Structure 1
C-alpha cells in the first residue's frame, strides 16, 4: 500500500497485522502483509478504516487487536502539533543507502517541501540514520534459488528472495486455492490455467 500510494499521490494507512481482516486476500507474507485504505484525503482514510477495522471469525489474527471507537476523533486542526515524525537523514554509508541514492532533483524538492509543510504545522522532525535493506536481516533471512525452468528467459540466473516469500506464499497460495470456487481458481488447481480460449498456451514469460 505504501508504494502505490506514494507513486499516485494518495493517502494510505498500513494497519497493524490483525487490525483489518485479511480473509479472502492472498498475501505474499501473512505474518507481515495486511489490507488497508487508499484514499484522496486523511479524513477519508480514517473513515474507511472505521469500517475496515473489525473482528472477523475468518481471520483469527483480528481477535487480538484493540480498536478505537472512531479514527476520525483526532482529526483536529492542530493534530500535527508536537507529533514526532522520523525522516531518514543523509546516509552514513553512501554505498548502502535506499533513501537518497540517485534521488531525482524533482523528487528531492518534493520531499523537502513536504517536510517543510509538516514543520509549519507544528510537527517535530527527527532526522536519523535508519537501517536500510542492506543492513536489515542477515544470514537466514533470504536464500539463493537457481532458476532451472527451461522455458524461462532467466534460466540459469540466481534469485535471492526472502524466506517468507518462499514458504509463506507457497502455503497461503495453496490454502487460498482450496478455499475458493471461482472458475479461474478451479483451472489453477487443475493445472489448466491459461489453456482456455484460442490463444496458444505458454508457460511463463507470457508477454
Structure 2
C-alpha cells in the first residue's frame, strides 16, 4: 500500500474494506504530515484536529458495525475558508471577518457529513476570493508544493496546495473567474467547476451571485467524480440552484473517448493570449493523446478571451460591490491592498454597464452552445504560464489574467483543469476540458481517458 497520505479516496475506501487501514490511522498520519509540512505551505487557516479525530473515531465505529455511508465514509476533506463549517470561523482570509464563527454548516458541508466525510479544517484563500497572493492579511498566503517560492494559484489556494502536498485527498474550492481551476493548474491536480446550479452555494460567502460555483479538487479524476456525487443536488433555497435528477458522475469514466468529437479552441492560446511555449506544446500533446485514443479533434473558434473577460469583469465587480460596499465605505483599511483594488471598480459601474454585460453574456453563451451542438467537449488552455514567484508581484500581476477559465464562468458550462505536463522549471502546466450543461460526467470521462493514457497524475511534488 502507498503511504497513507498519497492514497486516493477510492484507495482509502478499499483499504478500509480490507481492514488494512482505519479512519483513525489515516487521520493520525495526515495530522502528523500537516504538523510537519504546513508551517512551510500555509494551506490551513484553521486546522480542526480535535474535530477530525472525533469524526474519525465515529466513522471507524460505524464502518466496523457494517454501517458504511458510502465511498467517502471516513475520507478527510479540506474546506476553503469562505464555506461555513458550524463552530469554526469563516474568515475569508480577511481582517473584516476574523471573529465570524459559523452558526451552521453550508449545504455542501451538510452533504459531506451525511456521506461520512471527515472535515479537516479551513483552508487559505485569496481575501474574499478576489485578492491575490498577499502578505498584508491576518494569515500568510499558501505556497506551491512544487516550489514554495511560487504561488499555488487561487483563490482556492490552500485547497490546491494541500491536495497536491498530500495533506488531505479531497478539498472544496469555489470558482467565480477560475478559482478552482487556477490552483488545479498551478499545483498539478484535478479541479472541476461544475455546471452552474449543480452544487448549492448556500452557506458560502458570495463574491458574484451569477458567477459563483463550488467545485471538487482532487488528485485523481475518479475522486473528483466521487466528491461531486456527494455535493451535487438541488437546493430550493439557493436561487441559482437547478432542479436536476441525481446521477453518478463516475458512470462514464471507463468508456474512453473513441468517436467523441473534441473541439480544440486554439485561438485562446495562439492569438488571444499567446501562451508560454511549454504550455502550448503540452496542449498539442493532449490533442494527440486524445486522437490516439480514438477521439476526433478539430479546431473551433469562439468569441475572444478579451470579450469574455470584459463581460466577467463588469458582472463580477458590480455584484461584488453590492456585497462589499458598506465595509469598503466604513472599513476600507481593513482590506488588503489587492482585494481593495479589485473591489473598488464596482463603485463606478453603472446599471447600463451591468445590463449591457448581461445582454452580451447571452450572446456568448449562444456561441458556446452552438459549438457544443457539433462537439461533445471543448479542449483549451487553462493557465497560459506556469505559476510565478511569490516575491515577484509584477510578474504575478502580468500572468494571473493570462488564462482561459473566465469564459466558462460567464457561460456556466462545466469545465475541468488538470495537469498536462511539467515545465523545465519543474512547475506543472495544464489543460482544460469543457462540456455541455449538466454533462459533467462527459467532461470527467474525457479527463479520465487522458489520465489513463498519461502518467502526469502519478507525479508528486517535492513539497519542501
Given that 1:47 and 1:72 are in contact with CA atoms closer than 8 Å, whether structure 2 keeps it comes out as yes
Unaligned runs of 5+ in 2: 1-179, 341-392, 394-464
The alpha-carbon deviation at position 174 of structure 1 amounts to 6.7
What does the per-residue CA deviation read over 1:1-58, in whole Å, with 9 as the maximum and x for residues that have no partner? 2222222222222112211011222343211221111111111111100011022344
* 3-state SS of paired residue (1:4): helix
Whether contact under 8 Å (1:15, 1:36) holds in the other structure is: yes
Residue in 1 that maps onto 2:291: 119
How well do the aligned residues superpose, as a CA RMSD in angstroms?
Answer: 3.5
Indicate whether 1:65 and 2:243 are aligned: yes
The equivalent position to 2:304 in structure 1, one of 132, 149, 167, is 132
Structure 1 range deviating more: 166-175 or 119-128: 166-175
Q: Counterparts in 2 of 1:99-178, with a 5 A limit?
A: 101=274, 103-136=275-308, 141=311, 162-173=313-324
The residue correspondences of 1:6-155 to structure 2 (distance < 5 A) are: 6-62=185-241, 64-76=242-254, 78-90=255-267, 94=271, 97-98=272-273, 101=274, 103-136=275-308, 141=311
Q: Structure 1, unaligned stretches of length 5 or more?
A: 142-160, 178-187, 195-201
Contact 1:26–1:173 under 8 Å retained in 2: no
Residue by residue over 1:154-186, the C-alpha shift from the partner in whole angstroms, topping out at 9 and shown as x without a partner, is: xxxxxxx822123211224479x9xxxxxxxxx
Seen in structure 2, the aligned counterparts of structure 1 residues 18 and 174 have a Cα distance that, compared at 3 Å, is farther
Q: 2:202, 2:324 → 1: CA distance?
A: 13
Residues 12 and 191 (structure 1), Cα distance of their counterparts in 2 relative to 1, 3 Å cut: same
Q: What is the CA–CA distance in structure 1 between the aligned matches of 2:259 and 2:208, rounded to whole Å?
A: 34
Question: Could you list the runs of 4 or more consecutive aligned residues of structure 1 that deviate by over 6 angstroms after TM superposition?
Answer: none
Cα–Cα, structure 1 residues 89 and 59, in superposed 2: closer, same or farther, change >3 Å?
same
Q: Distance in 2 between matches of 1:126 and 1:67?
A: 32
Distance 1:137 1:13, change over 3 A: closer
Q: In the TM superposition, what are the counterparts of 1:182-193 in structure 2 within 5 Å?
A: 191=331
The 10-residue stretch of structure 1 (129-138 or 119-128) with the greater mean CA deviation from structure 2: 129-138
Q: Looking at CA atoms only, which structure, 1 or 2, has the larger radius of gyration? A: 1
Normalised to the residue count of structure 2, the TM-score between the two structures is 0.30
Q: Which residue of 1 aligns with 2:181?
A: 2
Shift in alpha-carbon separation, 1:27–1:84, aligned structure 2, 3 A: farther
Distance 2:323 2:336 in 1: 22
| 2:234–2:244 contact (8 Å) kept in structure 1 | no
SS of the equivalent of 1:81 reads: coil
Q: Residue 192 of structure 1: CA displacement?
A: 9.3
**Residues 50 and 164 of structure 1: is their aligned pair in 2 closer, same or farther, counting only changes over 3 Å?**
same
